[in-house]
Structure 1
């Protein structure tokens, strides 16, 4: 709230009460409550004050305009639950969907689940669109505590403050968050001054600021003391320091929790990177194993090709042997033909010789006939000789004829053998040609298959090498990212540990300070009850050290005194 406008109109007609009246032992636990529903929001720093305020006024109905993330709404619900009040807390807002353009028909699921789990009987969340329809849900003069988060609304979205204040009972309070520096600051100041003239208010300056306004006069004593000790609408420095430190501790704890969550997320990312690295290494190992199997298969295929080539060479050698055999058969046939020709020549020569011998015999017969005619006496001898010669010639002719028949039979046999050899040769050549053609086709197809398999294996090997290189590069990048993430996580963990340690030390010091403040308040309250005794001690004791001892420990001061009268006075009035 603006100090120059509203604070100047604040009434201070109540008598000034000591600060010890603000905090009491019964209210101290509420200052240290931990909110069940947490979030990093600007209102988090004011939660301890809202807890204290709820424990002081004990409202029966609380209305929160601008429930938003639910932090303030659930803080009031927790206070109602802790204090065991018969009260309800109602939260209204116009929540937007994920796109940020459309208004949701029901509150967010996260808030509803928290309500169902903790505050089903005392909490209610409602979508109010537009927010000016709030008077349809809340009756005028029915609210004990009205909280408005001005940071949730743009200028013109809220009804007028004079109308909103009518929702509060005569003894109720209005708590505004975010007045200072907002678009509603001037409008708020003008409307409040016009409507009420002067009001009692107090402002806490932490964050966007929190302003508490009391429209009525009948307030609880603790709240009355707080308004009475305010100077120009601002809470006392000591009181604001207490709430600021308590709120800062919640903010620090929330940040520490967020830091721990970030560290945990970073650890999860690191573990995921390690798992990805292991998976990549497993893929590389599998690829290397597959590549080794492909290389073994290529080696086996090369061996098979070499074996087939050896078989082809052997078949070629067999073909050469078959050709040599055919050439030998041709030579045998040629030799047979030559022998037949020689036999025919010999037969012809024998026939010529036989004919010559026959001609000679004929000549001799003619001579003998001539001689027979001339010589009668030699006829018998000539005839005998002639018959002998003729028989011999006939025998020789018969022998020559038998030899010719034998030669003819041999020639026929040789011709038949030659035909059989030629037929066998042709069949062998045909069979060898078919085998050669089959082997050539088989070799050609096998070579094509081996060539395609070799090309495929070469391509697979190249792809595997490329993938191995890519995976190696990726693994190196992942290792570098993992090292960076681990280093960052260690740095963040060290930093957050140091911050948490400092925060714990600060909280310890603050607790000690609060304890001393409470003890000082108790001492001041006791001293107020013993005003005459305090006046006498100040008049009679000149030593500042002894005065401090009296303020610190009255019992020790009197028991350690050397004066009999002083010790007797203490025994007579030990608790006065």
Structure 2
């Protein structure tokens, strides 16, 4: 377990230059593109989640608090890509159960190894054998996460398992989370409302152990590590916003089509009303409704145009960040450490094939 004096938050301060020690952590999973996007804050941490599942190879994953399904379906995507045969279970954290859209997405893509449970987390305890969960993801408010751990979910985690607690930066009961950091090896990221990783026993892989070591190492190395995950997370967040902007653009086209159809209907009605005085009152009311709809349409289109412009601006920033990241990776690959470990990576790649 880690020395309490070494535990620290990877703060959002200006990043230092990349260190060769971080190169040993790099895997292709870091650059995985999420299929299921949304506005959830967990988007910031999906690169880390992809990396963790690729590195730790958990046999069973449980997430409590599906929200929009962003992190849960990212975990399912990683398991599918990995082909490890791991089992995934998603548990709703609200009384309304699992939204129909999430059920449909799960049935379409992951039903062979993924199960969604509509029961509350405490009621679902009996469905999970003690010490059987290799990766427990808690995407709920920090106070609720603490209550769930104390209610029996901590005992469901394997002796060498991992617990991920999202929104750790919002925790009001800091003492409880400080106790967790002292009790277990941990790494915490401040961005995206915070993400705390706890190793309940020995780290499940050398890379995870190295991550914990670097997270508690010198300031420059820790900030380089934080910067890597922050940049990659920003890319997915920008991609999610762009997808939302594209949805708004599609809605704009739909509204314009409806307005065009109504304009055509109005023209036809006006022509008929010339010789039908009894219809004039109805036509005036329809015209008023159409003008109100057009005004509302213009307001919605203006909002959507602004959102699309913002998304394009963020995408341009993302491209610049990616170019900087590629330059950093290029520098890492030219380093002595990278060249020395080239044969090992080649052998690893062949074994994966």
TM-score (norm 2): 0.80
State the 1:480 CA deviation. Answer: 5.3
User: How many Å separate the matches in 1 of 2:332 and 2:314?
Assistant: 26
- The 3 A distance-change label for structure 1 pair 61 and 233 is farther
State the 1:526 CA deviation. Answer: 4.5
> SS of the counterpart of 2:138?
strand
1:36 corresponds in structure 2 to 35
> SS of the counterpart of 1:274?
helix
Aligned match for 1:168, one of 157, 160, 179: 157
Check whether the contact 1:20–1:525 (CA below 8 A) recurs between aligned residues.
Answer: no
2:15 corresponds in structure 1 to none
> SS of the counterpart of 2:160?
strand
> SS of the counterpart of 1:147?
strand
For each residue in 1:521-556, what CA deviation from the matched residue of structure 2 results, as whole angstroms up to 9, or x when unmatched? Answer: 233334896xxxxxxxxxxxxxxxxxxxxxxxxxxx
2:48 corresponds in structure 1 to 49
2:170 corresponds in structure 1 to 181
User: How many Å separate the matches in 1 of 2:331 and 2:173?
Assistant: 41
User: How many Å separate the matches in 2 of 1:506 and 1:211?
Assistant: 27
State the 1:156 CA deviation. Answer: 7.7
Q: After TM superposition, list the pairs within 5 Å mapping 1:495-534 onto structure 2.
A: 496-497=308-309, 499-500=311-312, 502-526=313-337
- The 3 A distance-change label for structure 1 pair 17 and 227 is farther
Q: After TM superposition, list the pairs within 5 Å mapping 1:416-435 onto structure 2.
A: none
State the 1:283 CA deviation. Answer: 1.1
1:146 corresponds in structure 2 to 136
User: How many Å separate the matches in 1 of 2:225 and 2:145?
Assistant: 32
Aligned match for 2:231, one of 245, 254, 263: 245
2:349 corresponds in structure 1 to none
1:61 corresponds in structure 2 to 60
User: How many Å separate the matches in 1 of 2:165 and 2:145?
Assistant: 15
1:312 corresponds in structure 2 to none
State the 1:80 CA deviation. Answer: 0.6
State the 1:472 CA deviation. Answer: 5.0
1:115 corresponds in structure 2 to 106
User: How many Å separate the matches in 1 of 2:339 and 2:245?
Assistant: 48
- The 3 A distance-change label for structure 1 pair 178 and 218 is closer
2:253 corresponds in structure 1 to 267
More helix by share: 1
User: How many Å separate the matches in 2 of 1:148 and 1:475?
Assistant: 48
- The 3 A distance-change label for structure 1 pair 198 and 272 is same
User: How many Å separate the matches in 2 of 1:275 and 1:158?
Assistant: 54
Aligned match for 1:203, one of 162, 177, 188: 188
> SS of the counterpart of 2:334?
helix
User: How many Å separate the matches in 2 of 1:211 and 1:263?
Assistant: 37
Check whether the contact 1:17–1:225 (CA below 8 A) recurs between aligned residues.
Answer: no
User: How many Å separate the matches in 2 of 1:491 and 1:94?
Assistant: 33
- The 3 A distance-change label for structure 1 pair 212 and 498 is closer
TM-score (norm 1): 0.51
- The 3 A distance-change label for structure 1 pair 38 and 481 is closer
Which has the larger Rg? 1
User: How many Å separate the matches in 2 of 1:269 and 1:248?
Assistant: 31
For each residue in 1:271-328, what CA deviation from the matched residue of structure 2 results, as whole angstroms up to 9, or x when unmatched? Answer: 212221221221111111x33xxxxxxxxxxxxxxxxxxxxxxxxxxxxxxxxxxxxx
* Structure 1: gaps of 5 or more residues: 1-5, 98-103, 292-460, 530-576
State the 1:493 CA deviation. Answer: 3.7
- The 3 A distance-change label for structure 1 pair 69 and 96 is farther
State the 1:48 CA deviation. Answer: 1.1
- The 3 A distance-change label for structure 1 pair 481 and 18 is closer
State the 1:87 CA deviation. Answer: 0.9
User: How many Å separate the matches in 2 of 1:527 and 1:65?
Assistant: 39
**With CA pairs under 8 Å and 6+ residues apart, which has the higher RCO, 1 or 2?**
2
1:212 corresponds in structure 2 to 197
Q: After TM superposition, list the pairs within 5 Å mapping 1:3-402 onto structure 2.
A: 8=5, 10=7, 18-23=21-26, 27-28=27-28, 30-97=29-96, 104=97, 107-129=98-120, 131-151=121-141, 154=144, 158-160=148-150, 163-190=152-179, 192=180, 198-231=183-216, 236-288=222-274, 290-291=275-276
* Structure 2: gaps of 5 or more residues: 9-18, 341-353
- The 3 A distance-change label for structure 1 pair 279 and 63 is same
> SS of the counterpart of 2:135?
strand
State the 1:114 CA deviation. Answer: 1.8
User: How many Å separate the matches in 1 of 2:243 and 2:203?
Assistant: 42
For each residue in 1:439-471, what CA deviation from the matched residue of structure 2 results, as whole angstroms up to 9, or x when unmatched? Answer: xxxxxxxxxxxxxxxxxxxxxx4x444445445
State the 1:259 CA deviation. Answer: 1.6
For each residue in 1:348-380, what CA deviation from the matched residue of structure 2 results, as whole angstroms up to 9, or x when unmatched? Answer: xxxxxxxxxxxxxxxxxxxxxxxxxxxxxxxxx
- The 3 A distance-change label for structure 1 pair 479 and 265 is closer
User: How many Å separate the matches in 2 of 1:50 and 1:39?
Assistant: 16
